[in-house]
Amino acid sequence: MRKFGTSQPITRLEDRRFLTGQGQYVDDVAPDDALYGYVFRSPEAHGRIERLDVTQARSAPGVHLVLTAADLATAGLKNAMRFAVVQTAGGSPVAKPDRPILVTDKVRFVGDAVAFIVADSVAAAKDAAELIALDIVAEPVKLDLAPGGAVVHAEAPDNIAYDFTMGDDAATQASLAKAAHVVTHKSHDNRIIVNSLEPRGCFAETVDGRLHLAFNGQGVWGAKGDLMRLFGLEAKDVRVTNPDVGGGFGMKAMGYPEHFLVAHACRVLGRPVRWMSERTEAMLSDNAGRDLDVTITLGFDADLKMVAFHTDSISNLGAYVSQFGQNIQSSLYSKVLTGTYDVQTYFFRNRGVFTNTTQVDAYRGAGRPEAIYALERAMDFAARQLGVDPLELRRRNFIPTAAFPYRSATGELYDVGDFHKVLARAEEAADLTGFAARKAASAAKGRLRGLGTCYYIESILGDPQETAMIELTATVAKVYVGTQSNGQGHETVYAQLLHDQTGLPLEQIEIVQGDSDQIAKGGGTGGSRSVTVQGMAMRATAETLITGLCAFLDEDMDQRETSFDAEEGVFRAPGSNVVITLLEAAGRAKSAGRAELTKVTETRTLPGRSYPNGCHITEVEIDPETGTTRVDRYTVVDDFGNLMNPRLAEGQVHGGVVQGIGQAISEHVVYDSEGQLLTATFMDYGMPRADDTPFIAFYTECVPSTANPLGMKGCGEAGTVGALAAVANAVQDALWPLGIRQVDMPFTPSRVWGMLQHGKASAAA
């Protein structure tokens, strides 16, 4: 096998299918005779159900079934979703109230699922929903990020679900007390609605007595296990598939009530049942992201070397504990708590609070963007307070290159890194020497210009183990993988990787994913793990395949030491002119009764995590008359280690950066005092558009990871991890000369205009 090397930035193989309308999404592949499901949702944010009468709905034209919590109980089903709880220090109490599939006696957010209607059409189901009698005795609504207030769950009388801590508080406070300089910064990381291009959807059918659930998610095995537990089924009786998926971003990584409702309805009716979310429904019911307040206190010595790091945060869980919600802003946040800085004295506290809003869970980066945002905002703020260049403060505190592998304060083993090199490349690429002239040009137009920097690091997450199977047929090599593409380009990069190892033409490689019948297990997609973990398993599988066929050909041709030329994809025997292709060798093996040599499976576990890192530098321009903020320039230099396809990596970074710009500039979730979502359509919720983003200059500096044999580091979430703080710091820089010290996302025109007016009033006073 040849040594892994950087491949060419070829165009994505799957794009022809998608761009010509041949994609097979869940709504495309649902059975033609499927009935339609519709979720009747709570119109109130908090209250006790006094009456729920679905009698008229059940007799409405075209209606086949109406399910309530009582019906689930009658069927003997446990009316509860699966979720994980955080492990707190010293085993301090953690609130873990059930999250129902359908509500029983209380509703806790606008959009809570009350009933499920199955009818001949969506229109018929909606008409039936109008006939449901629902009386709710409204209760006070809890919306703020603070302990206390209206009680959402009796298990958490102060609304605090957990109190997570790491580090030594006493030692950190003592170090801060002795520090030459102490700087405190507070930030709010605003809530977002994920808004994948394809909303959530699913269908269920019974095929040959087996339950088949298809949904547009980020892996099939969690859902399969959930269905087995809920219905008491054996593994052989359940099949779960993911067809093409139009975006996930973490939001589609977990289970939702609709998966179980369509499956149960299918089993009850003996008919296929389908459900597809509408956009406003998605905004009400999809897991949201971010939404936390963070206070960071940094201590520096006289040389501005960081000596202590203290973080206190409180995060919004929403109305229920979602599947990963408790871990996002606690244990996952802690993975990159101290970023790229050499500091070991620290304390971290995070409290999760229940509110009467949609539940909060993973969104692109899942804890790492939040940690880096708070840290990099604090570093820029500290630099300005201390009168030092923000880049210089970072340089003084970077982990030295010679210190790797480096054990971070929170226990992460950073395998490699050269942060100074990456920062120097970014400074040059962003033309910082020309910033003063650009700032003057903006001022001449009556505009404010700011420069923002973020140096991020992220930790690859998810299951470190993955399995791959390669099956050689007469015409193609089928590669069965345990990850699930949501638009990242897996079909291309996996085909490139196998081509790199076997020389097979790309058109002779077929990637099979998202089917629990075809792949026994897998970790799905999440945490930027896919290419790194799956690639390692594929490499091992290809090696086993080639080794086995070499041994077979020695025997078949009465030769010794048959070798494989990966460049040309052929076997050669010493002293012979015979050349045999990989697929021809597979055919010989099958003819000789050795078919097992043509279908090989290997499982591999990453020896350690990898840590992508990089520098984002951006410039914003603000119109002080209107508060309109525009991102004008954007430069990224990333260290992703070895890249299989640089074009795909660049695309991932572009998408992540735009999502970060969207959160920073325009995306603003607003609830009124009664818990009604006011930003429930694209007329009200400001998704980023093409004219909101500048050209994104993308560069890489390669420091190959030592934590996996491919030298890769992952890249799927890096753009978002770095973008938030870079944009926010640029706004802070633009407004700093006006005496404005507190700036928080989103920087919508009205909010920035308000900051400017407050600054003027403060200056006048």
- Tens of pLDDT, residue by residue over 73-118, are 999 999 999 999 999 988 889 999 999 999 999 999 999 999 999 9
Distances (CA, A) of 16 to 20, 23, 418, 507, 682: 6, 9, 38, 13, 29
d(C-alpha 166, C-alpha 410), whole Å: 8
- Is 757 part of any domain? yes
Give the mean pLDDT of 736-759.
Answer: 95
Name the token pair of 583: 């697929």
pLDDT digit string (tens) for 490-516?
999 999 999 999 999 999 999 999 999
Cβ atoms 367, 313 nearer than 8 A: no
* Alpha helices (runs of H) in 290-449, residue ranges in sequence order: 325-327, 333-334, 368-386, 390-397, 419-429, 435-444
Q: Based on the domain organization, do 456 and 580 belong to the same domain?
A: no
Same domain, 457 and 554: no
Give yes or no for a contact between 57 and 114, defined as CB atoms under 8 angstroms apart.
no
Question: Does any domain span residue 21?
Answer: no
Mean pLDDT over residues 346-356, rounded? 98
Average pLDDT of 651-659? 95
Residues 6+ apart with CB under 8 A from 69: 79, 100, 101, 102, 103, 104
- Quick one: average pLDDT of 675-688? 97
- Please give the tally of structural domains in the chain: 3
pLDDT in tens, 297-321: 999 999 999 999 999 999 999 999 9
Whether 266 and 396 share a structural domain? no
Domain annotation covers residue 473: yes
Residue 6 in this model has a pLDDT that exceeds 80: no
DSSP 730: H
Confidence bin at 295 (pLDDT 50/70/90): very high
- pTM for this one? 0.96
- Asked if the structure places residue 486 within a domain, the reply is yes
Same domain, yes or no: 474 and 505: yes
Q: What is the tens place of the pLDDT at every residue in 624-643?
A: 999 999 999 999 999 999 99
Domain boundary among 583, 605, 627: 605
pLDDT at 352: 98
Average pLDDT over residues 570-597: 91
14 occurs within a structural domain:
no
CATH number of residue 592's parent domain: 3.30.365.10
The reply to whether 650 and 590 lie within a common domain is no
475 and 423 both lie in a single domain: no
**Helices vs. strands in the chain: H and E counts, helices first:** 21, 28
Write the CATH number for 81.
3.90.1170.50
Q: What CA–CA distance (Å, rounded) separates 643 from 638?
A: 11
- Lowest-confidence region among 26-35, 41-50, 375-384, 530-539: 530-539
Predicted local distance difference test score (pLDDT) of residue 709: 87
Q: In terms of Cα–Cα distance, which of 612, 629, 611 is closest to 620?
A: 629
What's residue 120's pLDDT? 98
pLDDT number for residue 4: 43
What's the average model confidence in pLDDT over 283-288?
Answer: 98
Q: Are residues 534 and 591 in the same domain?
A: yes
The percentage of residues in the chain with a pLDDT greater than 90, rounded to a whole number, is: 88
User: Do 306 and 408 share a domain, yes or no?
Assistant: yes
Which range of residues forms the domain containing residue 451? 292-461+609-764
Q: For residue range 132-147, list pLDDT tens digits in order.
A: 999 999 999 999 999 9
| pLDDT tens for each residue of 359-391 | 999 999 999 999 999 999 999 999 999 999 999
The whole-number pLDDT of residue 140 equals 98
Mean pLDDT for the stretch of residues 725-732: 98
Asked which of 586, 605, 624 is the last residue of a domain, the reply is 605
pLDDT number for residue 43: 98
Together in a domain, 616 and 600: no
Does 43 lie in the same domain as 71? Answer: yes
Shortest CA distance to 338 belongs to which of 304, 365, 389, 374? 374
Q: What percent of the chain shows pLDDT beyond 70?
A: 99
pLDDT at 7: 59
What is the C-alpha separation between 40 and 284, in angstroms, rounded?
12
> Does residue 385 form part of some domain?
yes
Say yes or no to pLDDT of 762 above 80.
no
pLDDT given at position 5:
43
396 or 715, which is more confident? 396
Is the bond preceding 405 in cis, omega lying within 30 degrees of 0? yes
Query: Does residue 149 sit within a domain?
Result: no
On whether residue 672 sits in a domain, the answer given is: yes
Structure token pair of residue 756: 């400017």
In whole angstroms, give the CA distance from residue 701 to residue 554.
Answer: 44
pLDDT at 131 > cutoff 80: yes
409 and 517 housed in the same domain: no
Average pLDDT of the residues in 154-168: 97
Cα separation, 596 vs 318, whole angstroms: 51
What pLDDT shows up at residue 264? 98
- 627 and 599 within one domain: no
Mean pLDDT value across residues 188-208: 97
Indicate the average pLDDT of the chain. 95
From 605, 627, 646, give the residue that closes a domain: 605
Average pLDDT over residues 469-478: 95
Token representation of residue 111: 């959009």
**Residue 574: pLDDT band by 50, 70, 90 thresholds?**
confident
- The Cα 729–Cα 187 span in angstroms is 11
Provide the pLDDT for residue 560.
75
